[in-house]
Amino acid sequence: MPCITAKKAGLSISLTIYRFFGSDKKGCPSFPSMKTRVNTILIHFLFLAVFFYAPIVLRPDFAENIMPQNWQMIMIVNNMLAVMVFYVNYYLLIPRFVFHRRYFSYIIYALSMVASGLFLPSLINLIFSIFSYPISQSYSFHLIAGPLIIMFGMSFALAFALRFSGEWQRMRQEKAEMQNEMRTAELMSLKKQLNPHFFFNTLNGIYAMIIKNSPLASKAVLHLSNMMRYVLYDSDCNSIELSREVKYIVDYIEMQKMRISDNNHVHFSVSGELTDTSILPLIFIPFVENAFKYGISADDETSILITIERCPESLIFTCKNDVVAHKNQTTHSGIGIKNTRKRLEMTYPRKHELHTLQLVNKFLVTLNIDLSC
């Protein structure tokens, strides 16, 4: 049993050392970062410096009341006691009892440790006297019992402050990571809802071409294949180059032009530099899709105007279309725009403005995204 206990203790110490100095390479356990380790070393160094100079600060006449050959040893002993109280409290008592709400057990252990610490100087004084260590006859370790109690109090206060601040920082980081994971999961969920909605409307258009035996149906299928590749693979990320998103919109518009008559006019323009800008994928297509779905007529003159303008610190998207009454209009028409609003709120919080204006026969969308750092 002692051998097993020793092995477990050695393993625990080795794991602690590995966690402190271990690598951050991908695939390894989640250990503290290098910045965290450096900060920990600096904090502990500062703590030790404070406690080794605390007796002189608390009692300026400390060295004068002790023989020159003795006061250094006495100060070291008391400092080591204060340091022991800090580390036992920091690494053992607080995590094991306070964090598990075992407050009574913590108080018992803490009082026992303090009592032992106050008794230890007398024991050391006795040992020194037995071995005839040259300590002044007019001096006893009890002379610094008061400063020692103050140092113990400082040890407890510092241990609680540092331990709870570290725990608060850890919980804050875990909460941020959890919120980020939930945000990513929700974005993926919204995207999965958006893609079937888009393909449903696109397939309806191709179906109409096939019914009419249009020779453009095969070309439309090819366009759809390219767009599916973009949606399923290229856009499977949090951001994408604006130029690629614009190309996707162009392909979509060209495919839609195959099925509309000449009395429907579509204008699409882009201005500004596109290659150095990244945006959320598929953020404009629901508005473009909505414009074609409700702004196309087989008989009346209609127009769809779409513009994308890259300004120095923002991106402005506008879509204006005529509204044509449809017999089979259903409540499903708002799914794409509703999901887009959620995606914008999650990706660009307080950094975007989305306005929609519904008139009798017009519908206007204006989206302004702040891209400044």
List the domain boundaries for the chain: 33-177, 214-370
Q: What pLDDT score was predicted for residue 267?
A: 96
Left (φ > 0), alpha (ψ -120 to 50) or beta: where does 284 sit? alpha
**Ramachandran angles phi, psi of 303, nearest 5°:** -145, 145
**Structure confidence at residue 249 (pLDDT):** 92
Which spans in the chain are helix H? 2-21, 34-58, 71-88, 103-130, 145-211, 217-229, 242-257, 285-294, 335-347
Question: Is the Cβ–Cβ distance between 51 and 79 less than 8 Å?
Answer: yes
Instruction: Count the Cβ atoms, other than its own, within 10 Å of residue 7.
Output: 10
Instruction: Name the pTM for this structure.
Output: 0.52
Report pLDDT digits (tens) over 297-338: 888 899 999 999 999 899 999 999 999 876 555 444 566 788
Q: What is the pLDDT of residue 66?
A: 47
CA 88 to chain centre: 32
Given a contact cutoff of 8 angstroms between Cβ atoms, the answer to whether 227 and 254 are in contact is no
Backbone angles phi, psi at 222, to 5 degrees: -65, -45
Other beta carbons within 10 angstroms of residue 186's beta carbon come to 13
Question: Cβ–Cβ contacts within 10 Å for residue 108, how many?
Answer: 12
Residue with tokens 């959620």, as numbered in its chain: 342
Residues of the chain with pLDDT under 70: 1-41, 43-44, 47-78, 117-148, 183-198, 201, 326-335, 373
Fold of 214-370: Heat Shock Protein 90 (3.30.565)
CA distance 39 to 19: 15
